[in-house]
Amino acid sequence: MSRVIEFRDALREAMSEEMRRDPRVFLLGEEVAQYDGAYKVSKGMLAEFGPRRVIDMPISENGFAGLGIGAAMMGLRPIVEFMSWSFSLVAADQILNNAPKMLYMSGGQFGCPIVFRGNDGAGGQLGSTHSWCVESLYANVPGLKMAIPSNPYDAKGLLKTAIRDPDPVFFLESERMLALKGEVPEEEYLIPFGQAAIRREGGDCTIVSFGRPVHFAMDAAEVLAKEDGIECEVIDGRTIRPLDLETIVRSVRKTNRCVVVDQSWSFASVGSEVAAQVSEACFDDLDHHVHRVHADDVPAPYAMNLEQEMLPNPRKIRKAVLSACYRG
């Protein structure tokens, strides 16, 4: 049986189910308990699990990220909520230097089974300090895994996998998608990491994206089919580390064209990495170089029109696909 729920409900269901299943799992973060979640993701969880498992934190991201890491080294399974991944920058030393390297530095003695999760990317006129897309910054670091769901079904299935994963997982949500509704089964399911989903089939051009921009890609694909007669195959990567290159390559071998859509800046980015890997794997299959669509290479502006212009919007994606098909 399936019902329609919001993205935020899917996240909450994943956490609550895992907390019922495993007493080692707990949630900590700013406003997660008494306030019921700054974005209502953890609504009702304090009432169910009590203050020892749903724990309010002061505004000390570096401190509570490190606290979670210590607890994970002892074998607990912390979920650390960042109200925004933008605020994780002050915790960079803990989340980049400690969590992903502990297993290696200790020669296999201490793992770090922890989930860091929160809103990533533009939230809607939040200005440059609060609009970070951290995927390109953080995906560079070995030892961590990174999941970035684009819909409620994936949010729940991927988060449950993240919580059970023995390695540190960076889980990237989007404030703009928390109210997004979608079908989610009532029965338990998990989505394994490293398995991309094909959101739309098409034979003319492959579009690869992650997280919220998958929706921009779907919008662009609609217009391209209707206005330009170009059928795009849209691939939702779902996880960045591990990256499901196989699914992408299979599609590019069919379409011979590839556009990568990534909401972070272009320089040294996830988009560049995917483009490089596709170019290596599909050198003889490509009819054009891999095209990339990113946020513009500027700090995120406040003005609504400028923010919209900066994002990898459907107009930019359509333009890239047309160019990849020698129609631009």
Strands 169-173 and 145-147: parallel
- Per the CB < 8 A criterion, the answer to whether 69 and 62 are in contact is no
**CB 165 to another protein: min, Å:** 7
- Per the CB < 8 A criterion, the answer to whether 152 and 5 are in contact is yes
Would residue 186 show up in a list of annotated catalytic residues for this protein?
no
Provide the binding-site residues for another protein, judged by CB under 8 A.
23-24, 26, 52-53, 55, 57-58, 60, 62-76, 93-94, 97-98, 102-111, 113, 142-143, 145, 165-167, 194, 242
Question: Phi then psi for 244, rounded to 5 degrees?
Answer: -85, 80
Identify the CA nearest to 171 among candidates 324, 18, 1: 18
Distance CA 134, CA 89 (A): 9
108 vs 284, beta carbon nearer another protein: 108
- Which entry of 18, 30, 61, 135 is annotated as an active-site residue? 61
127 vs 194, beta carbon nearer another protein: 194
**CB 188 to another protein: min, Å:** 21
b/e 212-241 (16+ beta carbons within 10 angstroms → b): bbbbbbbebbebbeeeeebebbbbbbbbbb
Identify the CA nearest to 279 among candidates 232, 235, 245, 322: 245
**CB 294 to another protein: min, Å:** 25
- Per the CB < 8 A criterion, the answer to whether 221 and 228 are in contact is no
- Per the CB < 8 A criterion, the answer to whether 111 and 165 are in contact is no
**CB 83 to another protein: min, Å:** 16
**CB 216 to another protein: min, Å:** 29
29 vs 121, beta carbon nearer another protein: 29
**CB 267 to another protein: min, Å:** 25
Structure tokens at 280: 């290596």
Helix (H, G, I), strand (E, B) or coil at 286: coil
Per-residue CA distances from 319 to 70, 308, 322, 327 (Å): 48, 16, 5, 9
- Per the CB < 8 A criterion, the answer to whether 12 and 62 are in contact is no
**CB 192 to another protein: min, Å:** 10
Q: How many CB atoms lie within 10 A of CB 299?
A: 12
- Which entry of 130, 215, 291, 294 is annotated as an active-site residue? 130
Identify the CA nearest to 145 among candidates 93, 215, 194: 194
Would residue 130 show up in a list of annotated catalytic residues for this protein?
yes
> Which residues are the active-site residues?
61, 130
